[in-house]
Amino acid sequence: MNTRKLEPLLTVRDVGYLLRLTRQTLAKLITSGQLHTIKINGSYRFSADDVEKYVRGCRQ
């Protein structure tokens, strides 16, 4: 049996607040595949790891 704990998932509101992005900008990032999501019951959720990878990818 797998004893690994699930990490808490972030909502669109959480990620928008953290990255200072609007819902519209997040929607563009999601549809373009730049920001990975998990869809649960029709709502998008984000892993903190995926958000961090996105931010690291934005660095120049």
> What is the 3-class SS of the chain, one letter each residue?
CCCCCCCCEECHHHHHHHHCCCHHHHHHHHHCCCCCCEEECCEEEEEHHHHHHHHHHHCC
Amino acid at position 21, single letter:
L
Domains in the chain, number: 1
Domain for residue 26, yes or no? Answer: yes
Does residue 3 belong to any structural domain of this protein? no
With a cut of 90, say whether residue 29 has pLDDT above it.
Answer: yes
Q: Residue 56: what pLDDT?
A: 94
**What is the per-residue pLDDT for 2?**
66
The pTM of the full predicted model, rounded to 2 decimals, is 0.83
Domain that holds residue 44: 9-54
Distance CA 10, CA 51 (A): 9
